[in-house]
Amino acid sequence: MTLTLILIRHAKSSWDDPFMDDHARVLNDRGRAAAPAIGAWLTAQGHVPDVVLCSDAARTQETAALIRPHLTPTPALQLVPALYHASPDTMLDLLRKQTVRSVAMIGHNPGIAMLAEGMIKQRPAHPRFGDYPTCATCVITFDIAVWGNATRHSGNCTAFITPGDLPIFRA
């Protein structure tokens, strides 16, 4: 059996108010354009999760709210406070408790990038994988039957994309 993990960094957030609480920051216009485009790309590529696990920060919730309507069928959403600036170990522990075949996580750097790096056998050739920019999305497949068997460096990176790779942002 193949299980799929989709790791999405939140879309670009606003720094208009530098004194705003980090947890409360929302997306800027670029982020609001990028998230739906990533959602549409995921559906077009056949990478639709069964569930989206999302940090409870405002910017990750807004990212999820903009991505999910473009996913067909629309996956369930679970807000997970523990994903706010979570370590890769915390995210892996959450993943191992899942019972569905395809899981998306929307979170923050550096944890989301570190988890992506730690779960794949081989890095993709994409030049932006190392810095994992906002709304970057990594699709990883595992040849396992249950998430409890997910181990580091056992997944295959089948796709890595950033909003800048999409035609809408290259014009």
Structure tokens that stand for 86 in this block:
């979570």
HSE (side-chain half, CA atoms, 13 Å) at 59: 29
Which helix (H) or strand (E) segment is 149 a member of?
none
Which tens digits make up the pLDDT trace of 136-165? 999 999 999 999 999 999 999 999 999 999
Render pLDDT for 1-51 as a digit per residue (tens, 0 to 9).
899 999 999 999 999 888 999 999 999 999 999 999 999 999 999 999 999
Overall average pLDDT of the 100-107 stretch: 99
| CATH at 41 | 3.40.50.1240
Tell me which residue range forms the domain holding 142: 3-170
Q: Token pair for residue 128?
A: 């932006």
Any known ligand binding at 128?
no
Residue 18: predicted pLDDT: 86
Number of domains the chain contains: 1
> What is the pLDDT, as a whole number, of residue 167?
87
Determine contact, residues 49/74, Cβ cutoff 8 Å. Answer: no
